[in-house]
Chain A
């Protein structure tokens, strides 16, 4: 089930991996996701913890150094590939939609 889910990432998963392109600790990830999405996507502590545990198990992220007694995480090579694939998939989605909707974005022509 977990393996199948990680082929298509949910929004929180996608943004967490984006944030981990550079080393970051738990609460820092939550703040960064909030900032990038202008508050649209919220990741709770429990959700973040569960996702980080799953990512670690799948070797998509690893722990790096401990700074100010906080564990930091960073994306791995495998995680990077997954993120790029997901990004490309989402780009294709938007492109296909753009072609079929004839450039109508947000109801504008």
Chain B
């Protein structure tokens, strides 16, 4: 960037137009004059430091679908310039004028009610989605707060997905609440023709810095959680997440260039936009689903080729297994050192598959929580699916079929059978949990020994 030009990223609400004025005044004092204003980027050019007074005027008679036509605002510009203001720059919404601080010129907006009305009208057109987004995040946060379970802790992606509404709630609160307060206070001021209230520059700067920091944090967390998530199996599949976002950014850049470089009517531009969005949606769904379905065999799982010691295989119990295949899903997070889910299946008369799940928490509290929550989930599902039979008395209650394992024989801290046929069990040793599901007699000592040997329960 040349020394006589600089760009500043600045997020702002329409209700912060007075803070923008004081910011531009300060920049002029430092020798920087605004030359271009875009949605979030201000471009400054180097000038001799001057004491200027800026006046931000809001006009919103153009939309993103309009070809930029300066003649629409020609009359407005003329009146402002005749009354002593010089045009600095403008975009669709902001028209910025300035004068020497000592020169006398009537302010561009002299009626509080009119000023309030125009800010409200512009806010409705440009930031109307913020309160809606706030409400959505509030509802999602409430739903999420009631749906926390152990599965959230198993991977970075699940942690991110769970915490997403809470982070977004904070961001949307910061985005929306100050503006709503502005409208509340100034509604009265406008009626009484008092000068409109605005937040201090310090408050606005702090608010915007917090907002930007949270958005950067959220973006980094999003990228980290998806690329570190081995549940997807490979990063090619993870890129599905970014495909719609990247294409949206490219499309919005293209629309912006197309609408602003050739004069067409608003109706023509809107029609083109709607058709493009429909086409984008169809292409997006086609690409994403075809990637997902082409990887369905390995989606979330991949075949284990090396001989791992901490899961059960069919051949551990039967030597005549044919075409045995072993699949693994694995993950980890800040709370779980390791989560692995194995499925071993093949052709065998007595046994067709064994499922082993392994959870290792970072400490005992986390591990205990996961253990208890797995049992809670089993209890809930059992009661939900067998509600009628339990009421009739034809099926036992879950607490009656939950049978403790012999901890001395297994040499574990605790464990339970989770079904009446004793083919599903869970056991905990220190920070490790094993969940096993197979049609084996887990009361048989030889079976128990094979399990202990294979699952490293000897230490």
CA–CA, A51 and B386, complex, Å: 71
The minimal Cβ–Cβ distance linking A9 to chain B, given in whole angstroms, is 12
Identify which of B75, B107, B118 contacts A26 (C-beta below 8 A): B75
Residue of A nearest to B57 (CB): A46
The B17-58 residues at the A interface (CB cut-off 8 A) are: 57
Chain A residues with CB below 8 A from B108, complex form: 44-47
Chain A residues with CB below 8 A from B118, complex form: 46, 50
Asked whether A45 lies within 8 Å of B114 as measured between CB atoms, the reply is no
Identify which of B79, B82, B85, B193 contacts A49 (C-beta below 8 A): B79
Chain A residues with CB below 8 A from B114, complex form: 46-47, 50-51
CA–CA, A30 and B106, complex, Å: 9
The minimal Cβ–Cβ distance linking A55 to chain B, given in whole angstroms, is 12
Chain A residues with CB below 8 A from B57, complex form: 45-46
Chain A residues with CB below 8 A from B83, complex form: 27, 30, 44-45
Chain B residues with CB below 8 A from A37, complex form: none
Q: Does B453 contact A (CB under 8 A)?
A: no
Proximity bits, A33-66, B CB within 8 Å = 1, else 0: 0000000001111111111000000000000000
Q: Does A12 contact B (CB under 8 A)?
A: yes
Chain B residues with CB below 8 A from A71, complex form: 75
Q: Does B197 contact A (CB under 8 A)?
A: no
Residue of A nearest to B110 (CB): A44
Q: How large is the interface on A (under 10, 10 to 19, 20 to 34, 35 or more residues)?
A: 10 to 19
Asked whether B78 lies within 8 Å of A70 as measured between CB atoms, the reply is yes
The minimal Cβ–Cβ distance linking A91 to chain B, given in whole angstroms, is 22
Chain A residues with CB below 8 A from B82, complex form: 26-27, 45
Identify which of B75, B107, B113 contacts A44 (C-beta below 8 A): B107
Asked whether A45 lies within 8 Å of B111 as measured between CB atoms, the reply is no
The B71-122 residues at the A interface (CB cut-off 8 A) are: 75-76, 78-80, 82-83, 85, 106-111, 113-115, 117-118
The minimal Cβ–Cβ distance linking B301 to chain A, given in whole angstroms, is 62
Q: Does A10 contact B (CB under 8 A)?
A: yes
Asked whether B79 lies within 8 Å of A47 as measured between CB atoms, the reply is no
The B101-160 residues at the A interface (CB cut-off 8 A) are: 106-111, 113-115, 117-118
The minimal Cβ–Cβ distance linking B225 to chain A, given in whole angstroms, is 47
CA–CA, A26 and B110, complex, Å: 15
Chain B residues with CB below 8 A from A47, complex form: 108-111, 114-115
Asked whether B110 lies within 8 Å of A43 as measured between CB atoms, the reply is yes
CA–CA, A16 and B107, complex, Å: 17
Residue of B nearest to A48 (CB): B79
The minimal Cβ–Cβ distance linking B103 to chain A, given in whole angstroms, is 15
Chain B residues with CB below 8 A from A51, complex form: 111, 114
Main secondary structure of the interface of A (DSSP, over half): helix
The minimal Cβ–Cβ distance linking A12 to chain B, given in whole angstroms, is 6
Q: Indicate the member of B106, B108, B118 with the most A CB atoms within 10 Å.
A: B106
Asked whether B106 lies within 8 Å of A26 as measured between CB atoms, the reply is no
The minimal Cβ–Cβ distance linking B105 to chain A, given in whole angstroms, is 9
Asked whether A26 lies within 8 Å of B113 as measured between CB atoms, the reply is no
CA–CA, A71 and B113, complex, Å: 26
Identify which of A12, A26, A30 contacts B111 (C-beta below 8 A): A12
CA–CA, A37 and B78, complex, Å: 23
Chain B residues with CB below 8 A from A45, complex form: 57, 76, 79-80, 82-83, 85, 106, 108
CA–CA, A100 and B81, complex, Å: 47
Chain A residues with CB below 8 A from B110, complex form: 12, 42-44, 46-47
Chain A residues with CB below 8 A from B193, complex form: 10
The minimal Cβ–Cβ distance linking A93 to chain B, given in whole angstroms, is 18
Residue of B nearest to A1 (CB): B117
The minimal Cβ–Cβ distance linking A32 to chain B, given in whole angstroms, is 13
Asked whether A10 lies within 8 Å of B75 as measured between CB atoms, the reply is no
CA–CA, A69 and B106, complex, Å: 23
Identify which of A10, A27, A46, A70 contacts B109 (C-beta below 8 A): A46
Residue of A nearest to B107 (CB): A44
CA–CA, A51 and B110, complex, Å: 12
Residue of B nearest to A41 (CB): B110
Residue of B nearest to A34 (CB): B106
Known A27-B82, A27-B83, A30-B83; contact A49-B76, beta-carbon cutoff 8 A: yes
Residue of A nearest to B193 (CB): A10
The B335-366 residues at the A interface (CB cut-off 8 A) are: none
CA–CA, A33 and B271, complex, Å: 46
Proximity bits, A68-95, B CB within 8 Å = 1, else 0: 0011000000000000000000000000
CA–CA, A27 and B80, complex, Å: 8
Chain B residues with CB below 8 A from A46, complex form: 57, 76, 80, 108-110, 114-115, 118
Extra inter-chain contacts (12) besides given A45-B76, A46-B108, CB under 8 Å: A10-B111, A27-B78, A30-B79, A42-B106, A44-B110, A44-B111, A45-B57, A45-B82, A45-B85, A46-B57, A47-B114, A70-B78
Query: Could you list 16 A-B pairs, sorted by A, with CB under 8 Å?
Result: A10-B113, A30-B79, A42-B106, A42-B107, A43-B110, A44-B111, A45-B57, A45-B76, A45-B83, A45-B85, A45-B106, A46-B109, A46-B115, A47-B111, A47-B115, A50-B114
Top-7 shortest CB links A-B: A27-B82, A44-B110, A26-B79, A46-B108, A45-B79, A45-B80, A46-B109
